[in-house]
Amino acid sequence: MILTTSLRLPDKLVGPLMNFTALGLKLQEQVLEKYWSCDGLEKAASHRGKIWKLLDTELPRSQDFYIPSRVWRSILESAGRLLCSMAERKRVFELLLPLFNGKARDAAKKLYDLLKEDGEREKLGYLFNVAEAMASFYAEHERLPQDFFELQRRPEPKKFTFTASADDGPEQGQVMKYECNGKVLRGRVKLPTRPELESEKDWEWFPFEVELPEELKEKLARGARLHAPDLRLKRKSSGKLIALLDVKVEVPEKAPSGEKDRALGCDWGQRKLITGTVLQGETQLTPPFFVFWQALKAKLFRIRTGISQLQKIRDRESQKAGE
């Protein structure tokens, strides 16, 4: 199991990371534009191994700007992961299509049970998310979408997460080098110093050092294995941009605790989102507990409305700043 902890990096990395993010978004758009078709998504879905290896054979490195080879393939890996997520969404859509009866919950649950029988552990929430999109389309058009591309427009990425997994490792990395002594993670990352990238001189190594939180220290002390981190920008509620390093560690799966013949049973409902109870065989051991949908739904709609309003304000202010 991979666990991720986000650590804030020095503010001096924000400017170079903004240049890097702009480059990453441009390449993400190119990848999606080239592969946004049945054949393109199928090619991504059928590829085994790191996705950058596929993209690198079909997307020539741009001659309009200078980009180091390892940076190029690392950005391709980040962009390719978005492509693969769309390919998986298409697969789920096609599996849901013959099961859809107008109710998102029913179709998602049917597919969940079928995948579980086949040994796949797809999350019910993800299946429900795709089924909800289909239900919204059905409610608007009084029919199901003819194909995935009628349901899902080509994404227009506004965020970019750089992964170091396609680099040459923590010691030999040509984009990011890092080491961890169990208490502090230190290293350096190669970033562009300006938007116009004309030569190798426009790229520099930026050092960083962050202290690990106690919880992460304990995991590493118990044998957790450090994986290649991710690097990204995040905008705080105040509007300030900060640089984050997503530190990933692999921890062993814990064995189930408690009585082996007991289980938690949950049932999806209409007025109640979930009804749950503890069972032993066919015997109910606890009174049922309920999670009601109405209050949760109202809160989610309020949050969504608030986000939409903030996005409109952001876009309006960005437009004013550009004029």
Rounded distance between C-alpha atoms, residue 58 and residue 32, angstroms: 13
> 232-248 pLDDT, tens per residue?
999 988 889 999 999 99
Angle in degrees, CA 265, 269, 274, rounded to 5: 45
Mean pLDDT of 215-225: 88
Q: How many CB atoms lie within 10 A of CB 95?
A: 17
Per-residue pLDDT, 2? 83
Average per-residue pLDDT for the chain: 86
Per-residue pLDDT, 285? 74
> 257-290 pLDDT, tens per residue?
566 678 888 876 655 667 888 877 767 777 777 7
Question: Residue 113: pLDDT above 60?
Answer: yes
Per-residue pLDDT, 34? 92
The mean-pLDDT minimum among 14-18, 90-94, 247-251 falls in 247-251
The mean-pLDDT minimum among 19-28, 54-63, 85-94, 290-299 falls in 290-299
Question: Residue 43: pLDDT above 70?
Answer: yes
Q: How many CB atoms lie within 10 A of CB 305?
A: 10
- Residue 119 structure tokens: 């040994």
Q: Which residues pair with 243 in a beta bridge?
A: 233
The mean-pLDDT minimum among 56-60, 141-145, 180-184, 292-296 falls in 292-296
Rounded to the nearest 10 degrees, the angle between the axes of helix 14-35 and helix 38-46 is 110
Rounded distance between C-alpha atoms, residue 128 and residue 125, angstroms: 5
Q: Which residues pair with 249 in a beta bridge?
A: 3, 226
HSE-CB at 60 with a 13 A cutoff on CA atoms is 3
Per-residue pLDDT, 203? 95
- Residue 8 structure tokens: 């804030």
Backbone dihedral angles phi then psi of residue 45, each to the nearest 5 degrees: -65, -35
Confidence of residue 255 (pLDDT cuts 50, 70, 90): low
Rounded distance between C-alpha atoms, residue 148 and residue 191, angstroms: 37
Rounded distance between C-alpha atoms, residue 5 and residue 7, angstroms: 6
Rounded distance between C-alpha atoms, residue 312 and residue 250, angstroms: 39
Confidence of residue 153 (pLDDT cuts 50, 70, 90): very high
Give SS3 for 122: coil
Dihedral over Cα of 35, 40, 42, 44: its sign: negative
Rounded distance between C-alpha atoms, residue 205 and residue 12, angstroms: 12
Mean pLDDT of 100-127: 86
Backbone dihedral angles phi then psi of residue 231, each to the nearest 5 degrees: -125, 135
Q: pTM here?
A: 0.69
Beta strand 184-192 with 272-280 is: unpaired
Q: Sort residue 119 into left (φ over 0), alpha (ψ -120 to 50) or beta.
A: left
Per-residue pLDDT, 242? 95
| Residue type at 193 in one-letter notation | T
150 to each of 33, 153, 267, how far by Cα in Å?
16, 7, 32
Per-residue pLDDT, 91? 94
> 7-29 pLDDT, tens per residue?
999 999 999 999 999 999 988 88
Check if the beta carbon of residue 243 is closer than 8 Å to that of residue 8: yes
Question: Residue 256: pLDDT above 70?
Answer: no
For residue 3, the surrounding DSSP H or E stretch is: strand 2-8
The mean-pLDDT minimum among 36-50, 112-126, 132-146 falls in 112-126
The mean-pLDDT minimum among 63-67, 151-155, 268-272 falls in 268-272
Q: What is the DSSP letter of 281?
A: T
Percent above pLDDT 90 for the chain: 40
Confidence of residue 158 (pLDDT cuts 50, 70, 90): confident
Check if the beta carbon of residue 12 is closer than 8 Å to that of residue 244: no
Rounded distance between C-alpha atoms, residue 168 and residue 14, angstroms: 24
Rounded distance between C-alpha atoms, residue 306 and residue 308, angstroms: 5
Mean pLDDT of 141-153: 93
- Residue 138 structure tokens: 């059905």
